[in-house]
Amino acid sequence: MKSEQKHLVVSAVNLTEAGPLTVLLESLDVAAQILPAEWKITALVHSRSLIANPRVETLEFPQCKRSWFTRLWFEWFEFGRLSRSLKPDLWLSLHDITPRVQARRQVVYCHNSSPFYQLTWREARLEPSFALFNLFYAQLYRAFISRNQAVVVQQEWLRNAFQRLYAHPNVVVAYPAQQECVQAVQAAVHHTRKPSAFSPLVLLYPALPRVFKNFEVLCEAMKQLTPHIRGLLELRLTISGEENAYARNLHRRFSSVPGVCFIARQTRLQMEEEYRNCDVVLFPSRLETWGLPITEAKSRSKPLLVADLPYAHETVGNCESVTFLPAHDAKSWAKTFESLAAGQWEFGRHSSPVPDEPFAADWSQLWRLLTNGL
């Protein structure tokens, strides 16, 4: 007897680059691998060229990125009409906003943690759009959230924040990267090499210039070092110093500090080279939903210096070579840099408990959880 066809719709019209696009592609690839043949998979995307999986049908909506008004019009009106023709069994909105659609089961995946960040006046002045965005996004999350049978977030701390602010009864923690696979290639490196004036220790911070990324704590730490110690270190920042007011402020204050290198945004191939050549990966960010560079550093067996914050502990997971430092304390970072330059710093091990249920360690588990009973 032929199985009744079922329909999965993944809405991702706003995801076109970087980490969010990676989440989309991985979600579709895994769905195509594990869902039974009776499941039809349709992706709503900005451009069909983004999707190469032959099992995934695509509908493109390039106009959705023109403005927030256009985006919300599609989410709250046009997609309702579309859902009546697609007749989805599961509609997964992969980019934060809950659409008004008709589906047997509706789920929203929330991967923007900015509404839960408390900006300082200085940060708001340097990036006023981020301050307004925080207020706007907090209300977007709230709108129609009760339509979802589940809300998916990437970490336990974010689940707690959602439950506290929105009181949704079913918030699922789903890791965007399989921790155990990453751990398998993590080398037991506890010491870095001892640098010299001819071969300085390379410290890499891969991030975009946003006020919460906390570049200044690293730059201040470098500034506090003696000239001799600075000569043994090279801090590489993936910004040019021209991107926005925050980046220009950083460049004005720290571009003259020896050892601080503004290398600009890198291509994927260039980043592979940066990871290959660096000795330690830094991640002092004060706000993240996940913190992909932490996972990327682990997969390349690079030791880590990261902010001592809940997101970082969970993303680091089980790791052989990591040190957690206070996010706001430049002196602590400077002391650690000094020990690294002397070849005396010893990285520690870290383990992180598995989140409470409902929890999915990877996309395979998440798809099984979301489609269970359909």
Highest mean pLDDT pick, 178-182, 316-320, 338-342: 338-342
What's the topology of domain 6-176+356-371?
A: Rossmann fold (3.40.50)
**pLDDT tens column, 256-295:** 999 999 999 988 889 999 999 999 999 999 988 888 899 8
Question: Where do the structural domains in the chain lie, given as residue ranges?
Answer: 6-176+356-371, 181-350
Q: Is the pLDDT of residue 22 over 90?
A: no
Tokens of 122: 């200085």
Q: Where are the beta strands (DSSP E) in 155-200?
A: 171-174
Q: Distance (Å, rounded) from C-alpha 349 to C-alpha 319? A: 6
**pLDDT tens column, 28-43:** 999 999 999 999 999 9
CATH of domain 181-350: 3.40.50.2000
- What is the CB neighbour count within 10 angstroms for residue 245? 14
Q: Is-contact 111 96, C-beta < 8 A?
A: yes
Q: Distance (Å, rounded) from C-alpha 374 to C-alpha 372? A: 6
**pLDDT tens column, 58-112:** 888 888 888 888 888 889 998 989 999 999 999 999 988 899 999 999 999 988 7
Strands 233-237 and 260-262: parallel
Comparing 93-97, 218-222, 233-237, 322-326, the range with the smallest average pLDDT is 93-97
Which residue in the block uniquely carries the two structure tokens 């032959």? 54
3-class secondary structure per residue, 342-371:
CCCCECEEECCCCCCCCEECCHHHHHHHHH
Q: Do domains 6-176+356-371 and 181-350 have the same CATH topology?
A: yes
